[in-house]
Structure 1
Amino acid sequence: MVVAVNKRSVMTLFCDTTDIYGHQIRFVLAEKGVTAEIEFVTADDLPQELLDLNPYATIPTLIDRDLTLYEPHIALEYLDERFPHPPLMPVYPILRANARLAMYRIKKEWYSAYETIIADPNGSAAKTARKNLLDDLVSISVIFKEKDYFMSDDFTLCDCYFAPLLWRLQMLNIELPKVAEKNYLNYMARIFERPAFMQSLTDDERKMRT
């Protein structure tokens, strides 16, 4: 078996300029103040270096010395553990488990809806996914009247997971009803105005909101 070796001395993230998972990782890198090289690539034109290190040939891919991470959720938790300050996961096991469940739901239900819409924005599947996503966002909007952040008084990885999706609602042609939008406004302002979030945005992502 041939083992590929990373020849870079600096942590490197390979990602697309609009990929929502890459945005998550860039957000966490910025929050942690981690110096990393960001290599913008497309899924249909991946560099040989990435192909050698990632057996699934997917992006985003985070490379840190001898470690190659090609599952975004694992990459986020790795960054939080590798660079513990500021911590982005709760200390207590029950709260940590609840945070992991929240991120799992965001990925399984809301990100899958996002991917369905992106794949064929005008298709029937996208119409159903758009409605389901909107209904879910409306149903949880009340939590932002009670907490400053996603299910928490503190900024966590859940916010790094959720914020890139909220940033893309306009692009997805999803408009929150006034009552729900009012609940989200302070939260979105609080997140979107964070220096790390602004730093994480690519030029293409900045164009997603007018």
Structure 2
Amino acid sequence: MAIPGKSRYVMDARPAPRAGLTLFCSREQLHSRWTRIVLAEKDVDGARIEWIEAGKPHHDLLVLNPSGQLPTLVDRDAVLYPASIVVEYLDERYPHPRLLPPDPSARALVRMLLLRLDHELLPLAEAIRIAPKAVESKAARKQLQEALAGASRLFSTRGWCLGMDYNLADCAWAALIGTLPALGLKLPDAGFQRYAERLLSRPAVQSAFR
């Protein structure tokens, strides 16, 4: 695991006291949206969201996590990041509703899909979001559109990705699919579109796009 780099902002004070669980995140960043969807699905009492604006250092975040990486979750003495760690922690810490399958093989399949979403599809979408007119974004759009076409087989006419149980991968897909119109991308087929309609109708998903 890489050791977070030091921030150029020197902090000599402690963060403000906090009770309960706090999620530091961006409104538009896809990985932040993913964690917000999971947090909303868990409906954690007293959970707080601290909004971080691009280019504006946040004192408490930099004291707790000098890398400033978003999202960062703070739960008592635990300071957790990146998003993949945060969502699994939330699922274990607040097990209802369960968002990882109890069966080891099914759980491994979800994690394999999450790995691709986390390291390939979400970063492609994020690159387009940050610099939509950049030369690199044209290639990223093509690569992401092809990846979406290849993923169509995951979605049946009913149920969720990888089966009948809603899971952490569906939450990540929601963060991505809900952002596609703003990126100038479309879903490749009717099956994918029906899945998207079911996904985007969930209150927890809708809350992350407000």
Shorter chain as denominator, the TM-score bin is: 0.7 to 0.9
Q: Answer yes or no: is the 8 Å Cα contact 1:32–1:83 preserved in 2.
A: yes
Task: Tell me which residue corresponds to 1:67.
Answer: 78
The one-letter amino acid paired with 2:62 is L
Give the aligned residue type for 1:187: Y
Q: Which shifted more, 117-126 or 150-159?
A: 117-126
What does residue range 87-102 of structure 1 map to in structure 2 within 5 Å?
Answer: 87-102=98-113
Which whole-Å CA distance do the structure 1 matches of 2:134 and 2:114 have between them?
27
Alignment of 1:122-137 (within 5 A): 122-137=133-148
Contact 2:23 2:73 (C-alpha < 8 Å) held by counterparts: yes
Q: Is the 8 A contact 1:90 1:156 kept in 2?
A: yes
User: Against the structure 1 CA distance between its residues 200 and 116, is the aligned structure 2 distance closer, same or farther, given a 3 Å change threshold?
Assistant: closer
Question: In the TM superposition, what is the alpha-carbon distance from 1:47 to its structure 2 partner?
Answer: 2.1
Matched, 1:145 2:156: yes
- Residue aligning to 2:95: 84
Match of 1:27 among 20, 23, 37: 37
Q: For 1:183, which of 174, 185, 191 is the aligned residue?
A: 191
TM-score (norm 2): 0.87
Asked if residue 164 in structure 1 is aligned to residue 175 in structure 2, the reply is yes
Q: CA deviation at 1:27?
A: 0.7
Would the aligned equivalents of 1:117 and 1:130 in 2 still touch at CA under 8 Å?
yes
Instruction: List structure 1 runs of 4+ shifted beyond 4 angstroms.
Output: 2-6
Identify the match of residue 198 of structure 1 among 203, 206, 209: 206
- The answer for the alignment partner of 1:11 in structure 2 is 21
Provide the rounded CA distance (Å) in 2 between the counterparts of 1:191 and 1:33: 17
Q: Which moved more, 1:159-168 or 1:109-118?
A: 109-118
Cα deviation for residue 115 of structure 1 reads 2.5
User: 1:112 Cα shift?
Assistant: 2.2
After superposition, the CA RMSD in angstroms is 1.9
What SS is found at the alignment partner of 2:137? helix
Q: Structure 2: give runs of 5+ residues left out of the alignment.
A: 1-11
Quote the residue 1:208 is aligned against.
none
Identity %: 36
Letter matched to residue 65 of structure 1: R
